[in-house]
């Protein structure tokens, strides 16, 4: 017997549209259909596959998703999760988490927003297996952030973008008037000690803040920005998982990762979180 449709998907049904033609979607048993006969079957893992066109080429593979789940499960990044939840505005009904990964930060925001329902979006079906069960008020779906979102105009109150790609035009389109975008990105000294010790790790863009302002300013008004810095003593194996869950995993030699099985160094987590209101 097929598993039941997650109750967390119900609050999103009226907001979702077909990624091929933009028409309304109707749920029948475990399949969403539009009047043009495009159909989308809910995956057994609980997420909704809405990728249109060619498959996405990015996203976590199985090991990256498992490494992310292991690392975040240690609570090492709980100060960041709490900071994101604290910055979230009140009165939110729908939260869209772009590049949600395992849904860790979305779940934290929903804990702080008891009336809100979340939708985590990622191109990685491996990560979405975790995101689909991260919270009882969180649904999960796959689509490409660089394509038009299969959502109605103004159907979202808060967009989360935590270490994820950005599509400001689509963020603005799906946000309701007065809705908010929260962007969380690494500061220049994020994981500096680890980047010094491990060759091949991806380094933050030194012009990140300038570029972010350029793309958001035409569509959003910056309201608040917070910097978060905390030291972290990595548990055994956590340094390896921390690297393996990020794009750095594709640039660090496997032999280097294998040597990180023991206790890691004390590192500094340094990020910037900002809240922007849709103009």
Is pLDDT at 58 greater than 80 in this prediction? no
What is the SS3 assignment for 100?
A: coil
The CATH code of the domain that includes 43 is 3.40.50.150
Q: Which residues of 151-162 are buried (b: 16+ CB within 10 A; e: fewer)?
A: beebbbbbbbbb
User: Rounded to two decimals, what is the model's pTM?
Assistant: 0.94
Q: Closest by alpha carbon to 166, among 219, 202, 130, 116?
A: 219
User: Is residue 2 one of the residues assigned to a domain?
Assistant: no
pLDDT of residue 225: 96
| Rounded CA separation 91/57 (Å) | 36
User: Is residue 105 one of the residues assigned to a domain?
Assistant: yes
Q: What is the mean pLDDT of the chain?
A: 92
Edge-first strand listing for the sheet containing 26-28: 26-28, 31-33, 39-41
Structure tokens that stand for 249 in this block:
């995993």
The pLDDT tens digits for 151-171 are 999 999 999 999 999 999 999
User: Is residue 1 one of the residues assigned to a domain?
Assistant: no
pLDDT of residue 78: 97
Structure tokens that stand for 49 in this block:
């596959």
For 130: left if phi > 0, alpha if psi spans -120 to 50, otherwise beta; the answer is alpha
How many folded domains does the chain comprise?
1
- Residue-number span of the structural domain to which 254 is assigned: 7-278
């Amino acid at each position: 017997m097929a598993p039941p449709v997650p109750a967390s998907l119900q609050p999103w049904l009226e907001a979702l549209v077909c990624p091929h033609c933009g028409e309304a979607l109707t749920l029948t048993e475990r399949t969403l259909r539009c009047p043009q006969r495009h159909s989308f079957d809910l995956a057994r893992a609980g997420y909704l596959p809405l990728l249109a066109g060619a498959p996405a080429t990015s996203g976590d593979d199985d090991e990256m998703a498992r490494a992310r789940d292991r690392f975040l499960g240690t609570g090492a990044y709980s100060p960041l999760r709490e900071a994101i939840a604290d910055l979230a505005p009140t009165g939110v009904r729908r939260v869209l988490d772009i590049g949600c990964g395992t849904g860790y930060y979305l779940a934290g925001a929903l804990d702080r927003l008891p009336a809100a329902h979340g939708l985590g979006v990622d191109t990685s079906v491996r990560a979405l297996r975790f995101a689909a069960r991260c919270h009882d008020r969180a649904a999960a779906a796959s689509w490409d952030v660089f394509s038009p979102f299969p959502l109605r105009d103004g159907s979202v109150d808060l967009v989360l973008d935590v270490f994820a790609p950005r599509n400001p035009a689509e963020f603005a389109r799906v946000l309701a008037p007065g809705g908010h975008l929260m962007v969380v990105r690494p500061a220049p000294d994020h994981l500096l000690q680890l980047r010094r010790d491990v060759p091949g790790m991806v380094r933050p863009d030194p012009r990140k803040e300038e570029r972010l302002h350029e793309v958001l300013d035409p569509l959003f008004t910056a309201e608040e920005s917070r910097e978060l810095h905390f030291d972290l003593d990595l548990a055994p194996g956590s340094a390896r998982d921390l690297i393996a869950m990020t794009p750095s995993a594709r640039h660090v030699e496997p032999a280097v990762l294998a040597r990180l099985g023991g206790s890691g160094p004390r590192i500094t987590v340094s990020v910037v979180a900002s809240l922007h209101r849709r103009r």
